[in-house]
Amino acid sequence: MSPPVKFRIGLCGLGTVGQGVWKHFAAKRAELESRLGVKLEIARVAVRDRRKRRGVNIPADRICGDAIAVATDPNLDIICELIGGTTLARDVTLAALACGKVVVSANKALICAHGAEIFETARRHGGHFLFEASVAGGIPLIKALREGLVANRFPLIYGILNGTCNYILTKMEEQDAPYTAVLGEAKRLGYAEADESLDVQGWDTAHKAAVLTFLAHGTWVKPEQMIVEGIDRITPEDFKNAAALGYGIKLLAVIARDFTTGELSVRVHPTLLPESHVVAKVSGVFNAVSVQGDVAGTTLYIGRGAGQDATASAVISDLVDAVGLLKNDRRAFITARKGSAPARPERACRLAPPEHIRGRYYLRLTVRDEPGVLAQIATAMADQQVSIASVIQRAQEPAGEASLVLTTHQSDERAIRATLARLARLRCLLGKPLLLRIGDFSE
């Protein structure tokens, strides 16, 4: 009997996720080899600083400082890109794909910025790009869209895609604590980066939404083409107001497609969800994604969306798929999986204009506490055909100010933007309004 085939892996990047991959790969290696009938080895590791102390022990002869050299090494079969960013990571990915290698990545920002170029390079040179870990961490969401739900079209995908924001919102609600205090706690616990802006302003979620949109609809939507709003202006009072209305607050990505008109909208924003909704109950650093298929109906995916272990699990899953790809007939496998192309052929698809993006809204205003204010606001909203559904009014400090919370009936993004512009001209308004969307999703 001939010895089993050996596959050699190059690991580029040894940060938190890279160390997790090395640790868990080493622990599971014998089991993986037995299951796959092959021999596996992480043969080379590229790092920026070879002298830096790390939490894993790697033989010195496997470490180098040149990621491009690892990417193009003819003795390596699979390249695992865990560098982060969109510069060196792009160069490494394209160099490896140009050599016909399989590349595994957890880099959603890279895919969002250069996905079309990456997939075209893979197609042209016979390479392959796997990216399960780029969205929702340890939840096998990408596999579900590409494989398990391949017979479906997706009118609606929405959910929590950023564990940092979900942790902050959960703690603000539970502790009745202000945003800045909870953010500081999240940083101390390692749930938030030193520069939290990518997470809390919604851009990390937007990158992930772009990846999911590509998989579901075969088209690239850049974050600047989306509605993207963050959580940094939400206060404990908003949670109290939402609870009084029967809602919780979550930062959601929402990808909606009307297959009759061909219009697509991709949004990231804090959303009021009914307290009874499953996604509204998902707390802490967990992610939750609801996928509505026209054949399977609604499926729901919940799990750890980030962190060393969850992301490493997804990366190793892709490494196993990469071995399966290389072990079998390469071209037949690529054709069957469509892994270097969109999950489905691109159909006629255009972005919905603001007036076609409809929903209900929550609007919090700080106003002068004086007669006639509500009438002025109601008139400004009526001028834009925005109808008020409910009102909560509370006096607040300093004296002479009041908090006015309105919810609307069905309206649209064009009308609500025009309403905000109209309200900004009122002398009774003190400060910038807070606008949140209300999620009327059926489970």
CATH number where 97 lies: 3.40.50.720
Q: Count of alpha carbons within 13 Å of 321, Cβ hemisphere only?
A: 25
Domains of the chain: total: 3
Determine contact, residues 264/256, Cβ cutoff 8 Å.
yes
Alpha helices in 284-425 (DSSP H): 308-327, 330-337, 373-383, 413-423
Catalytic residue among 208, 250, 281, 327: 208
Q: Count of alpha carbons within 13 Å of 5, Cβ hemisphere only?
A: 9
In a domain, 143, yes or no: no
pLDDT score, position 333? 41
In a domain, 109, yes or no: yes
Coil, helix or strand for 399? coil
Task: State which residues form the domain around 56.
Answer: 6-137+309-337
Longest dimension (CA), the chain: 91
**Is there a single domain that holds both residue 60 and residue 128?**
yes
pLDDT score, position 268? 98
Q: Return the exposure string of 204-213: e unless at least 16 CB atoms fall within 10 Å of the residue's CB, then b.
A: bbbbbbbbbb
**Which neighbouring-strand residues pair with 437?**
271, 361
d(CA 252, CA 145): 18
In a domain, 349, yes or no: no
pLDDT score, position 336? 37
**Is there a single domain that holds both residue 210 and residue 317?**
no
In a domain, 348, yes or no: no
**Is there a single domain that holds both residue 24 and residue 130?**
yes
Query: Angle at Cα 106 formed by Cα 211 and Cα 118, nearest 5°?
Result: 60
**Is there a single domain that holds both residue 193 and residue 321?**
no
Coil, helix or strand for 170? helix
**Is there a single domain that holds both residue 167 and residue 229?**
yes
126: which 2 tokens?
């016979």
In a domain, 343, yes or no: no
**Is there a single domain that holds both residue 327 and residue 381?**
no
In a domain, 1, yes or no: no
pLDDT score, position 194? 83
d(CA 217, CA 222): 14
Determine contact, residues 405/364, Cβ cutoff 8 Å.
yes
What phi and psi values does residue 291 have, to the nearest 5 degrees? -120, 120
In a domain, 207, yes or no: yes
**Is there a single domain that holds both residue 159 and residue 296?**
yes
d(CA 206, CA 226): 8
Q: Is 327 a catalytic residue?
A: no
107: which 2 tokens?
């880099």
**Is there a single domain that holds both residue 250 and residue 379?**
no
**Is there a single domain that holds both residue 387 and residue 404?**
yes
pLDDT score, position 330? 46
Which string of DSSP letters, residue by residue, matches 40-81? EEEEEEE-S-TT---SS---GGGEES-HHHHHT-TT-SEEEE
393: which 2 tokens?
């009014």
In a domain, 443, yes or no: no
Query: Counting beta carbons within 10 angstroms of the beta carbon of residue 127, is it exposed (0 to 12), middle (13 to 18) or buried (19 or more)?
Result: buried
Residue type, 337: R
User: CA-CA distances (angstroms) from residue 418 to 14, 113, 430?
Assistant: 48, 31, 18
CATH number at residue 164: 3.30.360.10
**Is there a single domain that holds both residue 271 and residue 166?**
yes
Helix axes 236-244, 163-175, angle to 10 degrees: 80
Per-residue pLDDT of the chain (443 residues; tens, 9 = 90+): 677 899 999 999 999 899 999 999 999 999 999 999 999 999 999 999 888 888 899 999 999 999 999 999 999 999 999 999 999 999 999 999 999 999 999 999 999 999 999 999 999 999 999 999 999 888 999 999 999 999 999 999 999 999 999 999 999 999 999 999 999 999 998 888 888 999 999 999 999 999 999 999 999 999 999 999 999 999 999 999 999 999 999 999 999 999 999 999 999 999 999 999 999 999 999 999 999 999 999 999 999 887 889 899 999 999 999 999 998 754 434 433 444 444 454 456 899 999 999 999 999 999 999 999 999 999 999 999 999 999 998 877 788 899 999 999 999 999 999 999 999 999 999 999 999 999 988 65
286-293 vs 247-258, strand pairing mode: unpaired
**Is there a single domain that holds both residue 115 and residue 177?**
no
**Is there a single domain that holds both residue 39 and residue 125?**
yes
pLDDT score, position 443? 52
Query: Counting beta carbons within 10 angstroms of the beta carbon of residue 406, is it exposed (0 to 12), middle (13 to 18) or buried (19 or more)?
Result: buried
